[in-house]
Chain A
Amino acid sequence: MSMPFTSEGALGRIVRGVPSIVILVIFLAPLAIVVIGSLSPRGTAPPLTVDLVPEGASLSNYSDLFERPSFRRQALNSLGVAAVAVPVGTLVASWAGFAIARLPRRASMFLLGLTVVAAAVPVTALFVGRLVLFRIAGVTDTPLPLIAPALIGVSPLLVLLFAWSYASIPRETYDLAREVGLGPLATWWRVAMPLRIGVAAVGAAVAFLLTWGNVLDPLLFVYDERWYTLPLGMTSLAALPPTDQGLVLAAAVLATAPVLLTAFVVQRFVADRTR
Chain B
Amino acid sequence: MTRRRRSPIALVLVLLSVAAGCDAGPEDEVTRITVMVSGDPEEIDAYRAVVTAFERSQNVVDAQLLPFADRDDLIVRLSTSIAGGQPPDLFLMNYRYYAQFAARDALEPVDSYLRMSDAFSAEDFFETSMTPFRWQGEQMCLPQNVSSLVVYYNADRFVQAGLPLPAEGWTWDDMVRSARALTIDDDGDATPDVYGLGVDPEIIRLAPFIWSNGGALVDDQAAPTRFAFDAPALSAMQRFLDLRSVDRVTPSDEEAEAEDAESRFLNGRLGMLMESRRVVPAFRTISSFQWDVAPLPILSEQVSVLHADAYCITAGSDAKEASWRFIEFALGPEGQRITAEAGRTVPSLRSIADSDAFLEPASPPLHSEVFLDQIPRLLAVPVVSTWAEIEDVANGIIEEAYYGGGRALEVAVELTIQTENLFARAER
Contacts and interface: CB of A to CB of B under 8 A. Distances in A.
Interface of A: 43, 45-46, 48, 73, 76-77, 80-81, 83-84, 87-88, 127-128, 131-132, 135, 140, 143, 219-220, 223-227, 235-243
Given A46-B267, A132-B85, A242 B66 contact: no
B20 A226 contact: yes
Contact of B67 (A43, A236, A237, A242): A236
Contacts of B285: 43, 241, 243
B301 interface: no
Contacts of A140: 86
A127 B86 contact: no
12 contacts: A73-B19, A83-B8, A84-B12, A84-B13, A87-B8, A127-B80, A131-B81, A225-B67, A236-B41, A236-B67, A240-B40, A242-B262
Interface stretch (B68-76, B226-234, B318-326): B68-76
B375 interface: no
Given A83-B12, A135-B85, A220-B76, A226 B263 contact: no
A45 B266 contact: yes
A242 B282 contact: yes
Contacts of B281: 241
B147 to A, nearest CB: 17
Contacts of A84: 9, 12-13
B260 A242 contact: yes
A134 to B, nearest CB: 8
Given A220-B77, A241-B40, A227 B84 contact: no
A235 B73 CA distance: 10
A212 to B, nearest CB: 15
Given A45-B267, A77-B16, A83-B12, A239 B80 contact: no
Contacts of A135: 84-86
Contact of A227 (B20, B77, B260): B20
A98 B41 CA distance: 47
Interface in B71-98: 73, 76-77, 80-81, 83-86
Contact of A220 (B44, B64, B80, B268): B80
Interface of A, helix, strand, loop or mixed by DSSP? helix
A223 B86 contact: yes
A226 B21 contact: yes
A224 B80 contact: no
A172 B263 CA distance: 66
Contacts of B73: 219, 235
A36 B81 CA distance: 40
Contact of B65 (A81, A83, A225): A225
Contacts of B406: none
Interface in B257-292: 259-260, 262-263, 266-268, 279, 281-282, 285
A131 B80 contact: yes
A131 B19 contact: no
A184 B305 CA distance: 69
A223 B85 contact: no
Nearest to B43: A239
Give the 8 A-B CB pairs with smallest separation, nearest first. A241-B282, A131-B84, A239-B40, A242-B263, A226-B20, A239-B69, A236-B69, A45-B266
Contacts of B81: 131, 220
A6 B163 CA distance: 73
B66 A225 contact: yes
B87 to A, nearest CB: 10
A220 B21 CA distance: 22
A236 B263 CA distance: 18
B309 to A, nearest CB: 15
B405 interface: no
B41 A239 contact: yes
B15 interface: yes
Nearest to A228: B67
A9 to B, nearest CB: 46
B84 A243 contact: no
B80 A46 contact: no
Interface string B1-18: 000000011001101100
B259 A128 contact: no
Nearest to B36: A223
